[in-house]
Amino acid sequence: MAIYDRWHLSHPTDDATPCRCGRGKHKLYPSADHPGRLNKRGKRLPDLPRWQVRYRDDNDNQLKRNFAERDGDDPEQHASAFDAKVNHDLDAGSYVAPERARQTLKAFGEAWRTSLVANPSSLENYDRKLTHIYGDNSLLASRTLLALAQQPGIIQAWIKELEGKGLGANYILQIVDMLSSIFVAAIDNGMPIRNPTKVKSLRLPTPTKTIITPWTQAMVEAAREKLGERGLEEMVDLGVGGGLRQGEIFGVGSDDFDGQTLQVRRQVKWFSEQEGQPSGLAFAPPKYNKEREVPLSTAVAERLQVRLEKTPPVKVTLPWGSPTSRKLMTVPMLFVRPRGLPYHRQCFGYIWRDARDAAGAEPTPENGMHILRHTYASVMLAALVDILKLAAWLGHADPAFTMRKYGHFIPDVADRGRLAINAFYAAAGAPGAGQSALDVPLPQIPGVGNLALVARS
């Protein structure tokens, strides 16, 4: 590294004329960048910064930066201080070229997107959010990472723009969280910036908590009857009676259940075209790759058995994992379209719309087919089914999520709790009393039965 004087020649020719900058015998000879330059019209041009620091980064790229002042302590203002700082950072291996932070958000975001590893449906979800972040009409797309980091007010204006599009508060928060992930990646890659989504002055939308309202038994039966016009009534039974997601319902085969249990082994997924991959259908593991076993009630088991007797299953062969996979799977499926292919989310919307209308439900996203799964959860918790068991039956990755989502379905059992403790003390003379509440004979309680049996189940 070195500091160069841009105004003067380091190797003047013999016929060069010195300028007035030199002192005594130390003569200086003006370069083409010396003050006093004139344009083609003879007008004087602005003076250029005199001092230039030249150096090579850790990738051996030649870099330079100009300064008006040579000596001082501020690396942003003084050539000598900047020279010392870059030398130190290069020796320590912590140097990052400031030019890297001058990438546009779109350029860095697109590179970050290509590095993401996830299942295709998750990537589709990411792409929808990224369109709001650096899409052609986004306020942020052409801004540099450095500019956004230094001016969080731009982020605030962008959030207001999202609100103006009618996006919900929770969805906006998800988009902001993805923007934050982009800045975290930039910082992890050594860019000398901060994360503007984390500054205290940024005002984010207040998250809204959606209270799920399950369907009544009458609504469920009305929807079932409507789907029955297409021979699909058992789809409702698998949703309300098994807690299956839509794609899992579409993927149920005749060998996935018996009179006692239902094995959730797969789902039918529609993959949209992306990154050169064609669109199409495939079997895939359930969400989170969590196969699970769900207890099957007699009522649901009998309805499924009637289905098998009335409508024999149809064998369907699809790729496993993605439309381009060479691994094929054949399943004797309960539900197929007239041409023998399974149902999927892209073709089922209008069918469910008719069922929803028949049930008398509002035409809102909350009353999509997923409401059957919510209704299943509400029935289970109203019967005081253990929430850890319910989380496993639903295929949730974390029981805490089950509690957050469905905790309001748990009935107030304060009176039952009082009766349980009363029974414990009343049985003080019973064998084993005081060792464990589970060993104490407890009374029958209306709506629950023997509490000891409930506790053990």
Per residue in 115-166, pLDDT tens?
998 877 788 889 999 999 999 889 999 999 989 998 999 999 999 999 999 9
Q: Which residues of the chain does CATH 1.10.443.10 include?
A: 217-360
CB atoms within 10 A of CB 221: 16
Sorted by sequence, the CB contacts under 8 Å of residue 222 that are 6+ apart come out as 358, 359, 360
113-117, 203-207, 229-233, 451-455: least confident range: 451-455
- Look at residue 453 in the predicted model and tell me its pLDDT: 40
- Look at residue 438 in the predicted model and tell me its pLDDT: 43
Average pLDDT over residues 413-441: 60
276: tokens are: 């050169």
Confidence of residue 58 (pLDDT cuts 50, 70, 90): low
3-state secondary structure of 395: coil
DSSP string, 160-218: HHHHHTT--HHHHHHHHHHHHHHHHHHHHTT-S---GGG-TT--PPPP-PPPP-PPPHH
Average pLDDT over residues 409-431: 72
Of 397, 267, 236, which is closest to residue 345 (Cα–Cα)? Answer: 267
> What's the one-letter identity of residue 51?
W
- Look at residue 24 in the predicted model and tell me its pLDDT: 80
- Cα 56 → chain centroid: 39
The single residue listed with the structure tokens 């910082």 is 187
| CA 52/CA 56 separation, integer angstroms | 13
3-state secondary structure of 450: strand
- Look at residue 42 in the predicted model and tell me its pLDDT: 80
- Look at residue 96 in the predicted model and tell me its pLDDT: 63
Of 318, 296, 293, which is closest to residue 305 (Cα–Cα)? Answer: 296
Backbone torsions φ then ψ of 283, nearest 5 degrees? -80, 150
Q: Say what percent of the chain tops pLDDT 70.
A: 89
177-191, 268-282, 396-410: least confident range: 268-282
Q: Is the model's pLDDT at 355 over the cut of 80?
A: yes
Average pLDDT over residues 301-312: 95
411: tokens are: 């009935």
223: tokens are: 């929807």
3-state secondary structure of 54: strand
| CA 53/CA 33 separation, integer angstroms | 15
Segment of 19-28, 118-127, 247-256, 429-438 carrying the highest mean pLDDT: 247-256
CATH classification (class only), 217-360: mainly alpha
On average, the pLDDT of the chain sits at 87
Of 397, 256, 395, which is closest to residue 332 (Cα–Cα)? Answer: 256
Average pLDDT over residues 427-432: 53
Q: Is the model's pLDDT at 455 over the cut of 90?
A: no
| CA 396/CA 440 separation, integer angstroms | 34
- Look at residue 360 in the predicted model and tell me its pLDDT: 96
3-state secondary structure of 455: helix
- Look at residue 271 in the predicted model and tell me its pLDDT: 87
- Look at residue 189 in the predicted model and tell me its pLDDT: 84
CB 129 within 8 A of CB 175: yes
Dihedral, 399, 404, 410, 412 alpha carbons, nearest 10 = 120
Average pLDDT over residues 80-85: 90
Q: Which residue has the higher pLDDT, 337 or 45?
A: 337
Q: Which residues of the chain does CATH 1.10.150.130 include?
A: 102-198
pTM check: above 0.75: no
The single residue listed with the structure tokens 């605030």 is 156
Confidence of residue 276 (pLDDT cuts 50, 70, 90): low
370: tokens are: 């997923």
| CA 197/CA 234 separation, integer angstroms | 47
The domain covering 102-198 belongs, at the CATH homologous superfamily level, to: Tyrosine recombinase, N-terminal domain (1.10.150.130)
Q: Is the model's pLDDT at 319 over the cut of 90?
A: yes
- Look at residue 431 in the predicted model and tell me its pLDDT: 47
- Look at residue 441 in the predicted model and tell me its pLDDT: 46
- Look at residue 92 in the predicted model and tell me its pLDDT: 67
- Look at residue 103 in the predicted model and tell me its pLDDT: 87
DSSP label of 140 = S
| CA 254/CA 271 separation, integer angstroms | 25
- Look at residue 200 in the predicted model and tell me its pLDDT: 93
Average pLDDT over residues 284-299: 94
Planar angle of CA 251, 330, 315, nearest 5 degrees: 80
CB atoms within 10 A of CB 353: 13
| CA 417/CA 420 separation, integer angstroms | 5
Average pLDDT over residues 357-385: 94
| CA 159/CA 179 separation, integer angstroms | 11
Average pLDDT over residues 290-305: 95
